Amino acid sequence: MRHLLLKEIASFFNSLVAYIVIVVFLAGIGLISWVFPQTSILEYGFAGIDPLFNTAPYVFMFLIPAITMRTFAEEYKAGTIELLLTRPISDLQIVLGKYLASVVLVIIALLPTLTYYYTVYNLGAPQGNIDTAAVAGSYIGLILLGAVFTSIGIFASSLTDNQIVAFIIAVFFCFCLYDGFSAIASINVWASYAYYISQLGIDFHYASVSRGLLDIRNIIYFISLITIMVFLTKLSLESRKW
């Protein structure tokens, strides 16, 4: 599985798409976090990088599907999936290898945003006037969110041999699971059940972790959703043998 993981990372960086995706992500996050007055960190009023964590989920909805759309769809299109399935590794190891490689790529894309923390740390009055623990918790939340979106993305890629279709499906699923339950809960007809419905959505748990509240229930939610998506991807891969 380690060989497959390294191969996936290497093949991604051997393509121009990798650099375009990362540059577009960093440019988009940079503009939203520093340039646009409505969301600029400089206009935030106090030392913090909350605008980054508030807007990153919506940028992730497009960035991560762009990373994952090729994981299985490209194998199907090129006809190399049969060769991959004949290797002495299980279907689950194939899925995990591709999944972990995509997670690593998401983290690599996220690493340059640490310069935002460094910048705000030095711009604060007095210097260092920023809640480092809260920022660390928010980054953990963002990584967990990225891991969930990645699991959704590889599942979408396993459903089709068309990368564009895989991208669209992944964006749709990410948006529905992130914002869908909150939208449903906001309908008045649910009354006292609205709170429980909102808890099914990713945004509820991401918002909790982003406040630095590393509640075990939030961690279990993210891990459970990742496990479900990986299992569904494995089933989708196995269905190709039927």
Q: For all residues of the chain together, what is the average pLDDT?
A: 83
Task: Give the pLDDT mean for 2-23.
Answer: 77
222: its two tokens? 């993210």
Least confident of 14-23, 147-156, 225-234: 14-23
pLDDT, tens digit (0-9, with 9 covering 90-100), for 83-99: 777 777 888 888 898 89
- pLDDT value of residue 45: 61
- pLDDT value of residue 121: 76
* Integer Cα distance of 106 and 202 in angstroms: 18
pLDDT, tens digit (0-9, with 9 covering 90-100), for 190-229: 667 777 888 888 988 888 887 766 778 889 999 999 999 9
Q: Does residue 147 surpass a pLDDT of 70?
A: yes
* Integer Cα distance of 202 and 180 in angstroms: 9
Pick the more confident residue, 88 or 168. 168
For the entire predicted model, the pTM comes to 0.89
Please check whether residue 102 is in contact with residue 11, taking contact to mean a CB–CB distance below 8 angstroms. no
- pLDDT value of residue 34: 73
- pLDDT value of residue 168: 94
Q: Does residue 5 surpass a pLDDT of 80?
A: no
Question: What is the helix, strand, coil percentage profile of the chain, to 5?
Answer: 80, 0, 20
Q: Does residue 156 surpass a pLDDT of 80?
A: yes
- pLDDT value of residue 185: 79
E-strand stretches of the chain: none
119: its two tokens? 């910048």
Pick the more confident residue, 41 or 174. 174
Half-sphere exposure of 21 (CA within 13 A, CB side): 25
Instruction: Give percent of the chain with pLDDT exceeding 90.
Output: 24
Please check whether residue 39 is in contact with residue 51, taking contact to mean a CB–CB distance below 8 angstroms. yes
Pick the more confident residue, 73 or 1. 73
Nearest to 96 by CA among 241, 239, 226: 226
